[in-house]
């Protein structure tokens, strides 16, 4: 009788264990399905912690050559070998060599799977993803800085390195887009409107977030399909014409993609929600001309020490759509907002170099730049 009771008790315990195991399995499946994106699943499998000296990957988006390579040469020359790496996305077939670049730091640093890029098109995002993908192949790269061919550093390498490595967060300009109606319901439900964000394309990412961008196969296809730039109006021809209401949807992919993807991945709290790259805009007073705003190009005359000092002295940024004043911090310490600036002409870059902004230089460097 005792043996029979023991047998019944064992069977009950066995059924309880099986039932509980099945319940846990079902709950796990429901949790995975509720995430909805491959990037979130990726985050549950973080990489093995890196051991060694971390590097900053400098990622340049170029039309062809790099006109300010002489300034960046001085910047890297005053840095430590083994603490940085360089990747350039240029037009297909363009090779950086002695014939195309004055700096050996850039020789052979082009990625070989580059594509033709058009401003305001999804090809810009694709080029960024290609750069990140190439840089992620080196486990030493722990920070990823996206730069244009007209960007300049505002500090020397040592300061830049310490600034970026002292923070565990990515620097991504990200805010609510409540004024321009660039979101389209066609993106729903994969991209809900409450997750739609806007910001500067000039980002600095930690490795975890760079991996999210490269792994994404759900958000980018929707941007390629539904987020497209509307052709600009010719304001001069319209001066004597009646106002025209443009009904075609307008969306600039590179101003929304990274911000929206990271928001959907619930990574907002892991960001310093600001860019590290200063840009001055030629803001038009004509509302109709809003889409034609473009960055101001710094020439020799307006790249004065006083102007650069004012840029470097900025310590907060106001976001009108969120009524948010973003105080610039790195690892909870107040710091200058900007490490880089754009768009700089060669003359303006030469002035920065001559004043020792990025580190000591010799006359031969300046002479090479003038040739």
User: What residues contact 231, with CB distance under 8 A and at least 6 apart?
Assistant: 248
The pLDDT of residue 365 is 53
- Angle at CA 98, nearest 5°, toward 96 and 102? 85
> For 318-344, what is the mean pLDDT?
89
Q: pLDDT per residue over 90-140, tens digit each?
A: 999 999 999 999 999 999 999 999 999 998 899 999 999 999 999 999 999
pLDDT at residue 289 in the model: 46
pLDDT band at 249 (very low <50, low <70, confident <90, very high): low
| Band of pLDDT at residue 281, cut at 50, 70 and 90 | confident
For residue 44, what pLDDT is reported?
A: 37
Q: DSSP of 221-243, one letter per residue?
A: HHHHHH--PPPPP-TTTTTTS--
Contacts of 364 (CB under 8 A, 6+ apart): none
Residues whose CB falls within 8 Å of the CB of residue 361, separated by 6 or more in sequence, listed in order: 74, 353, 354
How many CB atoms within 10 Å of residue 328? 18
Q: Are 271 and 172 in contact (CB under 8 A)?
A: yes
User: Strands (DSSP E) along 5-159, which ranges?
Assistant: 55-61, 84-89, 141-148, 152-153
Q: How many CB atoms lie within 10 A of CB 182?
A: 17
At 180 the pLDDT is 64
Longest dimension (CA), the chain: 104
DSSP H or E run through 122: helix 122-136
Instruction: Lowest mean pLDDT of 39-48, 213-222, 351-360, name the range.
Output: 39-48
The pLDDT value recorded for residue 177 is 80
Q: What was the pLDDT predicted at 83?
A: 98
pLDDT tens-digit series, residues 31-46: 434 443 333 333 434 5
How many DSSP H helices and E strands does the chain contain? Answer: 11, 15
Centroid of chain to Cα 298: 22
The partner residues of 317 in beta bridges, in order of sequence, read 326
Q: Per 3-state DSSP, what percentage of the chain is helix, strand, and coil (rounded to 5)?
A: 40, 15, 45
B/e letters for 97-118, b = 16+ CB within 10 Å, e = fewer, are eeebbbbebbeebbbeebeebe
Element housing 340 (H / E): strand 340-342
**pLDDT per residue over 140-189, tens digit each?**
999 999 999 999 999 999 999 999 999 999 999 999 887 667 899 999 99
The confidence band for 310, taking pLDDT boundaries of 50, 70 and 90, is: very high
Average pLDDT over the chain, rounded to whole?
83
CA angle, corner 203, sides to 317 and 143, nearest 5? 120
Which of 165-179, 216-230, 255-269 has the highest mean predicted lDDT (pLDDT)? 255-269
Q: Note the residue count of the chain.
A: 371
């Amino acid at each position: 009788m005792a043996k029979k009771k023991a047998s019944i008790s064992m069977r009950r315990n066995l059924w309880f264990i099986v039932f509980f195991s099945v319940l846990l399995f079902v709950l796990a499946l429901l949790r995975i399905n509720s995430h909805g994106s491959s990037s979130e699943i990726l985050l549950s499998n973080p990489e093995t912690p890196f051991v060694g000296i971390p590097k900053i990957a400098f990622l340049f988006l170029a039309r062809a050559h790099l006109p300010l390579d002489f300034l960046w040469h001085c910047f890297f020359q005053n840095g430590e070998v083994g603490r940085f790496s360089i990747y350039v996305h240029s037009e297909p077939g363009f090779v950086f060599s002695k014939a195309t670049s004055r700096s050996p730091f850039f020789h052979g640093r082009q990625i070989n799977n580059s594509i033709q890029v058009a401003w305001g098109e999804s090809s810009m995002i694709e080029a960024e993803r290609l750069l990140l993908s190439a840089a992620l192949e080196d486990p030493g790269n722990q920070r990823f800085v996206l730069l244009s061919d007209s960007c300049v550093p505002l500090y020397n390498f040592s300061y830049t390195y310490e600034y970026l490595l002292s923070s565990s967060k990515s620097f991504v300009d990200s805010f609510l887009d409540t004024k321009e109606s660039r979101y389209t319901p066609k993106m729903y439900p994969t991209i809900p409107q409450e997750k739609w964000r806007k910001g500067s394309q000039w980002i600095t990412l930690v490795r975890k977030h760079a991996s999210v961008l490269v792994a994404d196969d759900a958000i980018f296809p929707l941007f390629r399909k539904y987020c497209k730039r509307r052709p600009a109006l010719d304001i001069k021809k319209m001066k004597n014409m009646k106002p025209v209401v443009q009904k075609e949807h307008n969306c600039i992919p590179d101003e929304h993609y990274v911000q929206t993807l990271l928001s959907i991945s619930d990574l907002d709290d892991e960001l310093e929600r600001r860019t590290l790259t200063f840009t001055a805009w030629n803001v038009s007073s004509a509302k109709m001309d809003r889409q034609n705003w473009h960055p101001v190009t710094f020439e020799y005359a307006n790249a004065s020490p006083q102007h650069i000092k004012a840029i470097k002295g900025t310590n907060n940024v106001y976001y009108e759509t969120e009524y948010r004043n973003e105080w610039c911090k790195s690892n909870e310490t107040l710091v200058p907002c900007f490490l880089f600036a754009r768009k700089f002409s060669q003359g303006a870059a030469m002035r920065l170099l001559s004043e020792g902004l990025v580190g000591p230089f010799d006359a031969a460097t300046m002479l090479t730049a003038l040739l």
